[in-house]
Amino acid sequence: MTQDRFIGKKFDEYRVESLLGKGNMAAIYLGVDDRLRRKAAIKMIGLDLQGEAEYVMRFEREARAIAQLSHPHIVQLYRYGEAEGMLYMAMQYIEGASLAIVLQSYKEDGEYIEADEAARIIREIGGALDYAHEQGVIHRDVKPANIMLNIKGTAILTDFGLVLLKSDGTRGGVLGTPHYLAPEQALSSANATAQSDLYSLGVVLYEMLTNIRPFEAKKPIEVAMLHITKQPRSPREHRPELSPQVEAVVLKAMSKKPEDRYRSGAEFSAALDEALRTGGIGPARAGAPRPAPVGTILSRTLVIPLSEALKARPGSGGTDSSNLADIPGASDIKNAGDTGDVGDIAPGPDADLLEKW
């Protein structure tokens, strides 16, 4: 087996220890700052893309976006630089598991995430999004695979690879992950607003409460079109013990028109808290999945170091299938069978171009 040429190299103050994951677009390594004795996740553009202006620009935009954000629920950037002829980012290394892996564990174990835990995740990520939006940053790829839960269960928003900086603007392609795309973003990424991120967070809540994503289809483009043309099925059809109040919060967050959604993550979170207080979730029907604490699930999925857990545990399947889901900033890494992340698609409803999904 050929030794990775970067293992053991120094990227400024970071010594590269091991490869965590590698795909067509990027690679993630575990690095260590020996002086500070601090681990870092080192993200590099793929070797064959280092000279591609579009990918370099997107990489730099991601670094600039994270650099201007300082929030306890947003991944931290330590350094952006070039070493060994490679552009790289050294970011916060999060020991934990992605929400995608955690939710898959709930499904496999026949359990639901506890309502209070779901509300806390919405509160923490909603707060992170509010802060980012105030700084002129729109994430555009909010989904369980980009929400890390550390070993204490704290939620951290990661992967700003598809970020929109309001100061830069964007051309009218389509970027994002079909299962979590807001309707306006499915038409054009130029339409993305703060409410687009909140719609995606609403889809995450739908999935947390029901263990089911609201829209499914054979092709990613078909999933995206469902966000535009169809209303989601009532969450109570999947889980009857949900109260009408809780269901109303989920459906408002997923309103087709941005102006009909919550104005902020704080408003969204407060509405969910109030719905849980006044309506809550009733007793589960016989044989239905039962709620379980996040800590219990994390203890099952993370009993070994993260790098080993990634090798040992399969991905969640569907469009988010990837053993890289737990690595901050890795959702734009493509495996051979990964068709979940929407590429940069030219404007307009051209069927041939949309088939790139």
Query: pLDDT above 70 covers what percent of the chain?
Result: 76
Per DSSP bridges, beta strands 164-165 and 155-157 are unpaired
Q: DSSP assignment of 43-110, as one string?
A: EEE-GGGTT-HHHHHHHHHHHHHHHT---TTBPPEEEEEEETTEEEEEEE---EEEHHHHHHHHHHHT
Residue 206 confidence (pLDDT) above 90: yes
Name the CATH topology of 96-320.
Transferase(Phosphotransferase); domain 1 (1.10.510)
What are the residues whose beta carbons fall under 8 Å from the beta carbon of 304, sequence distance 6 or more?
Answer: 312
Tell me how far apart the alpha carbons of residues 199 and 203 are, in angstroms, rounded to a whole number. Answer: 6
Q: How many CB atoms lie within 10 A of CB 66?
A: 26
How many alpha carbons fall within 13 Å on the CB side of residue 322? 28
Q: What is the pLDDT of residues 129-153, one digit of tens each?
A: 999 999 999 999 999 999 999 988 9
Question: What is the predicted pLDDT for the residue at 24?
Answer: 67
Closest CA to 98 of 329, 268, 338: 329
Architecture of the domain spanning 10-92: 2-Layer Sandwich (3.30)
Its pTM stands at 0.81
Phi and psi dihedrals of 81, rounded to 5? Answer: -165, -165
Confidence category of residue 321, pLDDT binned at 50, 70, 90: very low
Return the structure tokens found at 32. 């260590």
> Looking at residue 302, what DSSP letter applies?
-
Question: What is the predicted pLDDT for the residue at 54?
Answer: 81
Tell me how far apart the alpha carbons of residues 238 and 209 are, in angstroms, rounded to a whole number. Answer: 9
Greatest alpha-carbon pair distance for the chain in Å reads 60
- Residue of 33, 48, 130, 141 marked active site: 141
Q: Where are the domains of the chain?
A: 10-92, 96-320
Q: What is the pLDDT of residues 219-251, one digit of tens each?
A: 999 999 999 999 999 999 999 999 999 999 999
From the centroid of its chain, how far is CA 130? 16
Active site residue 141: yes
Closest CA to 328 of 119, 95, 132, 159: 159
- The most confident of the ranges 72-76, 158-162, 300-304 is 72-76
End-to-end CA distance of the chain: 33
Tell me how far apart the alpha carbons of residues 195 and 254 are, in angstroms, rounded to a whole number. Answer: 10
Tell me how far apart the alpha carbons of residues 2 and 131 are, in angstroms, rounded to a whole number. Answer: 44
Tell me how far apart the alpha carbons of residues 179 and 295 are, in angstroms, rounded to a whole number. Answer: 26
